[in-house]
Structures are given as C-alpha cells and as structure tokens.
C-alpha cells in the first residue's frame, strides 16, 4: 500500500465501529439522500496530489472499453450450467477511494458500468481486497450502496495481514473456483491483484507507478 493508502485505512478503521452501528438501521432509513452534482465536483476536485482525476477516469474508461467486448462475447457463449464470475479489487478499482475520500466512497463509473452489464446477465461479482476484516461490513455496504451486487467479499483476517498480498489474493480466487465458478475476468489496479493466474483474462487499471493503491 502507498502512504496515502495507509492513512486512508487508519481513518476507515477508526470510523468502522460507528458506521457499523449505523448500518443496523433499516436500509430505507440508512441510505443517505443523493448528493447534488455540485458536491461530487467538489469531492473529486480534491484528488490525489500527483494524479489528475480526469486523466485517471479517461484511462479507466480505456481499459474497460477493451474489457467489455470480450466479456459480452464470453457471457453470450456461456456453456450450459456454467457459473461465471468476475473478480474485482476495491480501492481505485470498483471505488474511488483516493479521490476526495468520503464514506460511502463513490463508484468508479467505468468499472461499475461493466459490472452492471455482467451482473444483469447472471455473472457473479466477487471482491478480493487487502482491506482488514474489521471494516468488512462497511465495505460491503459501500459496494451495494453504489450499485454492485456482491456475491462474495474477501477481506484479510489477522493471519492474512502477514501473508504476501499477491499470494493471499490468488488463494481467494482459487477458493472461488473451488465453489464451481469460472472466473472470466479479474480486474484490479495493482500487479498484486492480477498475478498468480486463476482467471481467463486480467485487466489492469492505472496506478501510475503505485501512486494509487
């Protein structure tokens, strides 16, 4: 993780207890009202210091534009009884966590568009993250809140915190396959999200030499 990522993680962990309590409220009451467009603009303007938000979004759209034709073809050609899945990283992959950090974090729109195409056609979405299990509930709420259907969320327990991140993430994809799923794509922003196999295709979003987590 980058220094910025650790600062964000510390802040999220400190807030986890309060937010988890808030999640006990029924969804109709707990879901905040949609923020006005101007608020979104202000949040994204406070982007990561060395990375331009608009450039990042353009680069994310380019990667997803490359991924979507393959996914459309692969989903259409699913064999009878095949259980298809896509595995996603979270920080700066499915969520915009390094740009104007807030909770819930906004979805990374180009990735959400692809995810919605897949989930609307029966593809299971799994999320494998280096986040610790203390913030699992708030992470799952965030993903669902912005529009992802979560078939499974894998976070690191205490022992996992001492494992190599790439090894840990590969093990989770192996576990997903053991449940009978074919992972048709693995999408992340770091090499540790994608190494180790256990996916038909991998798609790497930009991290600009580690400036984004």
pLDDT tens, position by position, for the chain (213 residues)? 444 544 455 455 444 434 433 433 333 333 333 333 333 222 333 344 678 999 999 999 999 999 999 999 999 999 999 999 999 999 999 999 998 778 999 999 999 999 999 999 999 999 999 999 999 999 999 999 999 999 999 999 988 888 889 999 999 999 999 999 999 999 999 999 999 899 999 999 999 988 887
97 is in which domain, residue-wise?
Answer: 3-31+38-204
Query: Which residues, 6+ apart, have CB-to-CB distance to 68 below 8 Å?
Result: 114, 117
CATH code, domain carrying 197: 3.40.50.1000
Say if strands 181-188 and 202-204 run parallel, antiparallel, or are unpaired: parallel
Would the pTM count as exceeding 0.75?
Answer: yes
User: For 149-163, how does the pLDDT look when each residue is reduced to its tens digit (9 = 90+)?
Assistant: 999 999 999 888 888
Specify if 213 maps to a domain.
no
| pLDDT for residue 137 | 97
Specify if 169 maps to a domain.
yes
> How many domains, the chain?
1
Specify if 211 maps to a domain.
no
Specify if 209 maps to a domain.
no
Within a 13 Å sphere around the CA of 208, how many CA atoms are in the beta-carbon half? 16
Specify if 212 maps to a domain.
no
**Residue 30 near residue 23, CB atoms below 8 Å:** yes
Specify if 210 maps to a domain.
no
Alpha-helical (H) ranges within 37-162 are: 37-45, 53-76, 109-119, 136-146
**Residue 180 near residue 156, CB atoms below 8 Å:** no
Cis status of the peptide bond prior to 51, with omega within 30 of 0: no
The neighbouring-strand residues paired with 126 are 87, 152
Alpha-carbon distance 23 to 35, whole Å? 19
Specify if 64 maps to a domain.
yes
């Amino acid at each position: 993780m980058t220094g910025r990522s650790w600062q964000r993680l510390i802040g999220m962990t400190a807030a986890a207890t309060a937010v988890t309590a808030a999640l006990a409220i029924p969804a109709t009451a707990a879901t905040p009202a949609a923020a006005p467009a101007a608020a979104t603009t202000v949040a994204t303007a406070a982007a990561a210091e060395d990375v331009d938000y608009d450039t990042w979004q353009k680069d994310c759209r380019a990667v997803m534009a490359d991924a979507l034709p393959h996914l459309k073809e692969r989903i259409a050609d699913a064999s009878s009884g095949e259980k298809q899945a896509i595995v996603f990283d979270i920080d700066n992959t499915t969520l915009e966590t390094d740009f104007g950090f807030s909770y819930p974090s906004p979805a990374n729109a180009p990735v959400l568009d692809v995810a919605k195409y897949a989930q609307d056609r029966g593809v299971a979405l799994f999320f494998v993250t280096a986040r610790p299990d203390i913030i699992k509930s708030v992470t799952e709420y965030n993903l669902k809140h912005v529009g992802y259907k979560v078939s499974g969320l894998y976070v690191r327990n205490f022992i996992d915190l001492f494992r190599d991140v790439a090894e840990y993430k590969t093990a989770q994809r192996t576990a997903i396959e053991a449940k009978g799923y074919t992972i048709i794509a693995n999408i992340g922003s770091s090499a540790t999200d994608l190494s180790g196999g256990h996916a038909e295709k991998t798609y790497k979003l930009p991290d600009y030499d580690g400036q984004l987590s």
